[in-house]
Amino acid sequence: MGKKLAGLVLAGSVLLGSVATAAPVIPRGTMIFVPLDTRPVSSAYTVETMRAAGWDILLPPEELLSSNNRNGKADALLEWLEEKAPESVAVVASGDALLYGGLVDSRTHHFDKSVLSSRAERILSLKNKSGNPDVYVFVTIMRSPRASSAPVEPVYYAQWGPKLFRQGALRDKQDLGKLSAKERKELQMLNREIPADIEQDFYRRRKMNIKATELLLHGVESNNFDYLLIGRDDTAPLSQAHKEARHMATLVSELPKEKIRFFSGADQLGLLLLTRAANKLMYVTPFVHTSYAPGKGGETVPTYEDDPVAVSAREHIFAAGCYPVPEADRADFQLKVNTPYNGVTLEAGNAANNGVLTENDRAFLDGVMKDLDRGRKVIVADIKYGNGADNALVKGLFRDGIAWDLAAYGGWNTAGNALGFALGQGVLSPYMTEEAKDRLLTVRYLDDWAYQANARGEVYQTYIWPNYLPNSGFDRKQLPGVEERITQAMYKVAEPVMGPVVDQYGFTLPWHRMFEVEPVLKPLLAERKKAEAEAIRKHQEKIAAEEQARAAAQQEAAAAERARIEGTAR
């Protein structure tokens, strides 16, 4: 793979050489990154990947970012970005964070059109005001889930979400001219049944978000953006999100493909654009060959998405600043996508994910091993199940002794999340030390496989449900007990397969909910816990001081009132 590609121009980039020739962990420059929010997949995992590849990543102050208990501060983020952008060689920024405050904020905000337009204009002017750094922006089409609830959706969604979803699906189908007479009656009934104020709030916000995204398209036309990436967050083939996506696709199709892409996913977009920025700055365009597990393979349309995975993979490859090639021998990386034989992606918690190795699993593993034996860099995107890894595959990787030989692995959440994150980490892996690469792999196996596909379900069954605990919003009394049970479950699941490396990690719930875990090295976790305890102590002291000040003020006011009354009486 040490082939020279000097003089070849692809997608506007001159390829000076294969990525395989790069020296590991050389300081390369400072990029600014504004993530969607503070979730590990949005921020910490992405930043750790880039730093492992030698890039200095500058993040906004955490208190400006959207978190589990805090809205993001869009205007303050824009001010910070405008101040810091001149210090960077590239800016990669979440449009959702800069427009609304974050991903969740984009679904719940009440900003008016003028505020969003003003913020969009500031994003568009960033490049010219900041000394012309490379500017990459990613933004999402708001999801339309079948069911969800506050705080990640409007308060009414718990009750009306399923009906709003169905209404959107039928309107999408009506737009396509495929609505049956029975479905037309159902849509009319939903239109009458859903309260007018709820329907107005839901669709007004969606319309405003689409208009704000349309404003950002001007960044492509005017060259204010080096690249714009639009993600479809949890989009079913028939849904309001799909309807809006079809409208957006028409607009995107009129813009140059080398500067914009539009596909399913949200949480992987930041890493994809950081990878693209890194490739451009290093004058390389890695070649990627994609292959699939036996069966439906690339024709699979994963749950939560509306495109075949072959289309999604190709779009992800271009977005990452890479180039898809049909010949494995020409490629710098082999992207191996683990798809279900019948093309139906079940949830990782389904009983079918029992870890039993089938003939098709064996064939996929054999393909991975053959590529590794040939000295090829292999990236595994494990999308056979949604919201977690394929037990048979991961156990097979460890059983065959090749789990640590991969360039990258991803098997979490949606297919696009897993594929995009694995691609980004894999493409950057030649610039990492072996130790850094293995650390990233360890976190992926612990998170995507041990937790999402196994420990999470066990803790639900043995601790959350029996104790009538919620699945999110854990308070300070509940959280330690939940994290302790998760830690026990993680060791139980992972140590027999992964070995003693598991004992180096502790496990936290950064958003105080069961959906995501964060594996953290124990020394770092101890420091974090100490800092959190100190912050709580200071917060409590502040509250106590404020209460004392209020009590003193009340006493002083009461004394003054008594003196006034006594003076009047005299």
DSSP letters, 237-305, are: SSSHHHHHHHHHHHHHTTS-GGGEEEEE-STTHHHHHHHHHHHHHTT---EEEEEE-SSSGGG---TT-
Closest CA to 77 of 105, 45, 56: 105
Q: What is the pLDDT of residue 7?
A: 29
Tell me how far apart the alpha carbons of residues 388 and 381 are, in angstroms, rounded to a whole number: 11
Between CA 68 and CA 72 the distance in angstroms is: 10
**Residue 140 — φ and ψ, nearest 5°?**
-120, 150
Among residues 321, 225, 315, the alpha carbon closest in space to that of 261 is found at: 315
Tell me the residue type at 405.
Answer: D
Beta strands per DSSP E along 12-171: 13-15, 30-34, 56-58, 90-94, 134-141
What is the Cα–Cα distance from 409 to 396, expressed in whole angstroms? Answer: 13
Determine the Cα–Cα distance for residues 105 and 114; give it in Å rounded to an integer. 17
Residue with the two structure tokens 């393979």: 297
Nearest residue to 470 (alpha-carbon basis) of 427, 509, 444:
509
| pTM, two decimal places | 0.89
Angle (CA) 88 139 232, round 5°? 145
Q: What is the dihedral of CA 325, 409, 528, 149, to 10 degrees?
A: 90
At residue 147, the pLDDT reads: 84
**So what's the pLDDT on residue 544?**
83
Instruction: List, in order, residues 6 or more apart from 15 with CB less than 8 Å away.
Output: 5, 6, 8, 9, 283, 284, 285
* Per-residue pLDDT, 569: 65
Instruction: Provide the pLDDT for residue 13.
Output: 35
Distance of alpha carbon 485 from alpha carbon 92, whole angstroms: 37
CA distances in angstroms from 313 to 152, 183, 258, 415, 520, listed in the order given: 28, 34, 16, 10, 30
**Helices first, then strands: H and E counts in the chain:** 19, 17
Query: Tokens in use for 64?
Result: 């400006």
Where on the phi/psi map is residue 468: left (φ > 0), alpha (ψ -120 to 50), or beta?
A: left
Task: Tell me the C-alpha distance between 343 and 345, whole Å.
Answer: 6
Query: Tens digit of pLDDT per residue, the chain (570 long)?
Result: 332 222 223 333 334 334 444 444 556 889 999 999 999 999 999 999 999 999 999 999 999 999 999 999 999 999 999 999 999 999 999 999 999 999 999 999 999 999 999 999 999 999 999 999 999 999 999 998 888 888 889 999 999 999 999 999 999 999 999 999 999 999 999 999 999 999 999 999 999 999 999 999 999 999 999 999 999 987 778 899 999 999 999 999 999 999 999 999 999 999 999 999 999 999 999 999 999 999 999 999 999 888 999 999 999 999 999 999 999 999 999 999 999 999 999 999 999 999 999 999 999 999 999 999 999 999 999 999 999 999 999 999 999 999 999 999 999 999 999 999 999 999 999 999 999 999 999 999 999 999 999 999 999 999 999 999 999 999 999 999 999 999 999 999 999 999 999 999 999 999 999 999 999 999 988 887 777 777 777 778 888 888 888 888 888 888 887 887 877 766
